Structure 1
């Protein structure tokens, strides 16, 4: 079956319809490029054809390049000279789009070309926009919900199908850099204002308007500005008085935001800088060379793997029990209408699920429902929602203090206070209203699921569903299997997470599960270094230059010092003589006793203004924990922060908490922001190399403790010369 189909109407206008067989969204592949090239050649060589419209046979236009193919490009390029092979492949795509753009025009006179336009019925991303930009006019439908843009920067690459150069030449450096570096997808009107499209038309008139333009287009209309004599880059080139300031400013902004760890962003800026000084065809070749270099970068390979391929596989149920039929949730019960419970109610109702939100009294339950109302009011104010949508969502949430209202719920999620006794009582009261085939889940973040399941009358249908805060913004959900959790409960949890549009990972039961287990060593290592006398500014900046969203001290402030104190106290009580000090106790107790609980009290490791805005690091820290006269190297600080997390992830795999390294990497990036450029802790260790990681770990273990002793699996990779992937 064909990927692109060609037909010609009675007026001699060719319709090239992109319609990938068996797919809900069009994606470009090498086979697709070949078919498109053949059809374009037919349009340009058949004298009976006046022009062409490129459109889609699906609701949307295209989702971009097939990242499975892009991800395999390096492996398929061979070891002898992969750069040359990849470069030529990229240039083949450029030449096809350039053939569309030039449309048979004479090189000297720019005459004799045929108009080729694009008509986008819905969302177009990546190569979908790049293909459209190579046509002579871009028409888009006014259909609501459609988005347009070039989001490649979000998966570790940049627009390499001509999008970088064409946007630079269309809108200039400042606008192009802002659009492409952020990778935002825009609605039709904003895409028009940004320069991605030329006309927004009523959906039912899309093809008609596109054809009309072809029949009336002049030769001047189809010549791109950069192919005309005397073309000047909007805003000026790199050595234009105004352009120079733009390039200098953009360079500073890129390095400030990336801290030097996202090579794709630096490459994007380099393409723009170099392209501003040359003609279009040379610029396209420059783009191809930088794109090749980025594709060969291990970071880009890791980001594509984790943020697209693995993430998508998990969302599609890669680890879902295969024999269990669909178990989508019809009626959801939530115990506890606090921040977590209210957030779970909001995302569930947004997905169309009927929700019963229960708390100790009606007033508390109503406050939980008001949380959703507040979110929707903000969305309405920003034009992202409507009053009717707000009413429809709120109508799905029933606040109550009566356990009998849980009758008929096929899934109940407990989100009450982190206390075994409180949770046990809530479990018993809720299960009294449940049918035998319903599933009970705990949203606990620290308490072992197997222990909590002892309060249940059916441990096979008891599972952990750990949301991250704030629920409406955090993409990850950690599903925890207890010792007796059955496949039906796992399938139910996974189907629920799919319904609400989150990304799931499935892990086995252990204290702190996976995400918290790995983030705690990171937070602790920063505190331990502070206690040792390491300058707190060095600690925080080292974390940021690793690509972590928050330094460990700021993270402690955000999660609350009193919470860390309570967890520490509870863990000591649970483990008794088996408790092993972490080295952070003195610092945590000092801040707790000083009433500095973090951001919520406007006092913690940092100082805050009256509005709660974070200021400088609190000077009292250095008085209590004096600085070392000789500070450790910046690289050593970075290694301590990176390896403390990564080694713990490997130990979680060794102990069976993790069953799939894909879940370990995706969970790390989405759960606590682990260095996205690395593709996650397992991707990071592959990039660093097992030998190098083992050597660093052994050195740090001698200096700072057994937490840096290299895990067995890492030692095996070092000895065998193998990798995690």
Structure 2
């Protein structure tokens, strides 16, 4: 192969052509101008030599089959590029259309993951065989980036699976399937277990199906589900289209996230026309999304910012890679049990310690429950489950920690308690062990005063539930060494977490910023806004959980305690805590009404058997809710702006060390709306950019208070035409 092509051609004596995709410029195959030229030349040759060809096998020389579109290209799109993007997509689709209409059987031999454009290419083949290998994924995840499959994948999936199945199970979910589940879903047709079988099985299929065609190119073809591609019926509208539209509305929830709606529109409209016209419809919807700000925001956050972190952008240089071998988890409650599980799953030997062996065993039971579910779902074997559980031992004695090179403390948020458990365990650890505290609010520098080696002490703030939340907030104290930070960063990646690195401050970044979101929502209750409107504003902003419901989940009794500690610390430091009307609401909810949240069965919501059953009707009498009309747009933006402005302050104070840490941390840790691309990208993408954000912030400050006054650093940046990078 030369550098002028990325598709290698080999033909055997039976006339079968083996096409091997091999990008000379990287470790994965991506859509690129070189691929486009290579595919065009290959299709031209296939058509020219068709009489000498009995079939075609398409595979890859990389570990994966094809990774999709280049995010660097999609991240640079703009409205003026819509025509160019549409034309490029139409050209690639025309090449794939010629491939599937070659008149010879074409088989995709998927030797690894085929996601996005990779699966779209495979769908243009008559038969798909996947290698059933661990880690391989097959699917169309575009909705998660604010896009839809634009290389024919949406149209072909609908025609392959049926409108309802394709949209609800594949396109709207963005799910990445294992090879086995992709087979069950109908996205692939066959599996092999060893690489050598792939091409052999493909050749066998070609020999057995010399006249293969796509189902949608056959005369009697009907889309699965019985819907004609040329007619719309009232029953079709009622039974299929309306439920799919409702699913898209539920997914979008009134946010600017329009990709689900465009997916449904393109899929439904495509069923009413022939396939080539459906491709054109798909292209135009794709161009609209790709050239809009939301997909650019999401690509920046979920690709570029995440890659910056994954490549060690916040890790000190000059230190060798570190792997933890033995960890001690102090405290076997929900957080400690979850931490023990993710460590054991990553191959680390774990001692789960509590006040009694019985309590520690209950914590280990959490891991058993998760693993049993995985066995039942078929994602792991019983042997795998037993192997992970065997790595977790339980105990109550400090000596059980002997030789451990990692400690993660997960006891109650009490400074003296945390110091005591570290003092007890530290003498038994290996030299240079990482001393990690899972505190979510207490300053690391203060906690480090209780250990003999403060340079080894660092904050490791996990998020609940630990087994599902991807973020780990690493907090650097005044005396934390660069070596310890490097070790902590490596440990985070070892256990499968995305690490952000922040400076020491009460609440750090995530707890501090999410607190402004929760407080702003309660502030509206204090002003007399209807609680249902506050909740709807939060959901339409794009938060995964409505703010009053989240207040209940986090327990307002704990919020009162943390606020009291924060106030005392600030006063001691000569910095008064500004009183807010929301504080009085929370205090009365806890002290006067005994409604601290879900854990005690009563909060802003009423509960039955632990489930929310509705907003507490007493809010109207207690706080006069429903008596004040706040513009809905203001309600939405007050929450978003509160978090964005506080994040800017965190950046100014060096609590945040980088913009990627801010964006990724806000998305993965505190539920900042995904469509924004993160808390600082929200400022960048606001109408008018940072200057528009500053102008709107000033209007909010005039109406609702000085907390919305934009920080001086932001004003200066906006005046200079800058953005957060």
Tell me the TM-score normalised to structure 1 length: 0.94
Q: How does 1:558-597 map onto structure 2 within 5 Å?
A: 558-576=553-571, 578-593=576-591, 594-597=593-596
Equivalent position of 2:253 in the other structure: 259
* Aligned position for 1:194: 185
Aligned to 2:243: 249
1:466-519 Cα offsets, whole Å, 9 max, x none, are 100110011111011111222111111111111111111111111100011110
Contact preservation (8 Å) 1:44, 1:114: no
Q: Distance in 1 between matches of 2:291 and 2:178?
A: 33
Q: Assess if the C-alpha contact under 8 Å between 2:619 and 2:625 holds in 1.
A: no
- Look up the SS of the partner of 1:200 in the other structure: strand
Give the corresponding residue for 1:70: 74
Q: Quick check: 263-272 or 2-11, which moved more?
A: 2-11
The correspondence for 1:550, drawn from 524, 545, 555, is 545
Q: Are 1:160 and 2:150 an aligned pair? A: yes
Q: For 2:409 and 2:176, how far apart are their aligned partners in 1? A: 36
Q: Deviations over 1:617-661 (max 9, x none)?
A: 001111100135441111111121111111111111111111111
Shift of 1:605: 0.4
Residue correspondence of structure 1 range 390-539 to structure 2 within 5 A? 390-539=385-534
Paired residues of 2:527 and 2:628 also in contact (CA < 8 A): no
Partner of 2:308: helix, strand, or coil?
helix
8 Å contact from structure 1 (residues 358, 401) kept in 2 = yes
Question: Does residue 641 of structure 2 align to residue 638 of structure 1?
Answer: no
Cα distance in 2 for partners of 1:459, 1:115 equals 67
Partners of 1:171 and 1:234 within 8 A in 2: yes
Matched, 1:226 2:220: no
CA distance in 1, matches of 2:188, 2:376: 26
Aligned counterparts of 2:210 and 2:7: Cα–Cα separation in 1: 27
Q: Which moved more, 1:674-683 or 1:61-70?
A: 61-70
Which range moved further: 334-343 or 666-675?
A: 334-343
In structure 2, distance between residues paired with 1:278 and 1:706: 56
Q: For residues 398 and 189 of structure 1, what CA distance do their matches in structure 2 show? A: 34
Residues in 2 aligned to 1:681 and 1:145: alpha-carbon distance in whole angstroms = 31
Which residue matches 1:671?
669
In the other structure, the counterpart of 2:61 is: 57
Structure 2 SS opposite 1:504: strand
Secondary structure at the counterpart of residue 459 of structure 2: strand
Aligned-pair distance for 1:526?
0.8
Report deviation, 1:297: 0.8
1:714 counterpart residue number = 714
Distance in 2, Cα, partners of 1:251 & 1:322? 50
Structure 1 unaligned regions, length at least 5 = 104-112
Give the one of 200, 207, 211 matched to 2:203. 211
Instruction: Single out whichever of 36-45 and 367-376 deviates more from structure 2.
Output: 36-45
Change (3 A) 1:668 1:169: same
Quote the Cα distance in structure 1 between the aligned partners of 2:523 and 2:77.
43
Deviations along 1:379-415, one digit per CA (max 9) or x if unpaired, are 2233333321121001111212122222222221121
CA shift for structure 1 position 448 = 0.7
* 8 Å CA contact 1:533, 1:627 repeated in 2: yes
Q: Would the aligned equivalents of 2:605 and 2:614 in 1 still touch at CA under 8 Å?
A: yes
Per the alignment, in what secondary structure is the counterpart of residue 138 of structure 1? strand
- Report the counterpart of residue 107 of structure 1 in structure 2: none
Distance in 2 (CA, whole Å) between partners of 1:722 and 1:572 is 35
* Separation in structure 2 between the aligned mates of residue 718 and residue 73 of structure 1, nearest angstrom: 23
Give 1:21 shift: 4.9
Distance 1:145 1:723, change over 3 A: closer
Q: Is residue 462–residue 471 contact of structure 2 (8 Å, CA) maintained in 1?
A: yes
8 A contact 1:314–1:503 mirrored in 2 = yes
Alignment of 1:15-164 (within 5 A): 15-21=18-24, 25-46=28-49, 47-74=51-78, 81-103=80-102, 113-143=103-133, 145-164=135-154
* Deviation at residue 23 of structure 1 after TM alignment: 5.4
CA distance in 2, matches of 1:601, 1:628: 26
How far 1:24 moved relative to its partner?
5.4
Cα deviation 1:185-205 (Å, max 9, x = unaligned):
223343233231223345453
1:256-292 superposed Cα distances (whole Å, 9 cap, x missing partner):
2212321211221221132122221121122111111
Which residue number corresponds to residue 604 of structure 1? 603
- 1:180 partnered with 2:171: yes
Equivalent residue of 2:58, what SS?
strand
Contact 1:450/1:482 (<8 A) preserved: yes
Counterpart CA distance in 2 for 1:242 and 1:350 is 49
- Judge which range, 55-64 or 678-687, deviates more: 55-64
Q: How far apart are 1:315 and its partner, in Å?
A: 2.1
Whole-Å separation in 1 of the counterparts to 2:73 and 2:699: 40
Structure-2 separation of matches of 1:646 and 1:315: 24
DSSP 3-state at the match of 1:534: coil
Cα distance in structure 2, aligned partners of 1:193 and 1:57? 26
Q: Return the match for 1:660 from 658, 661, 670.
A: 658
Residues in 2 aligned to 1:708 and 1:130: alpha-carbon distance in whole angstroms: 46
* 1:144 Cα deviation from its structure 2 partner: 5.1
The separation in 2 between residues aligned to 1:142 and 1:495, in whole angstroms, is: 30
Q: Is the 8 A contact 2:539 2:545 kept in 1?
A: yes
The aligned residue for residue 12 of structure 1 is 15
Give yes or no for contact 2:113–2:138 (8 Å, CA) kept in 1: yes
2:723 aligned residue: 723
- 1:109-156 CA-to-partner distances (Å, cap 9, x unmatched) read xxxx22211111333211111111001111223445533211111122
Please state whether the residue corresponding to 2:129 is helix, strand or coil.
Answer: strand
Name the residue aligned to 1:700: 700
Structure 2: give runs of 5+ residues left out of the alignment.
none
For residue 182 of structure 1, give the secondary structure of its aligned residue in structure 2: coil
Q: Secondary structure at the match of 1:584?
A: helix
| Alignment partners' CA distance in 1, 2:245 and 2:522 | 33
Q: Quick one: distance in 1 between partners of 2:482 and 2:110?
A: 43
Deviates most, 323-332 or 88-97:
88-97
- Pairwise CA distance, 1:312: 2.7
Q: CA RMSD in A?
A: 2.0
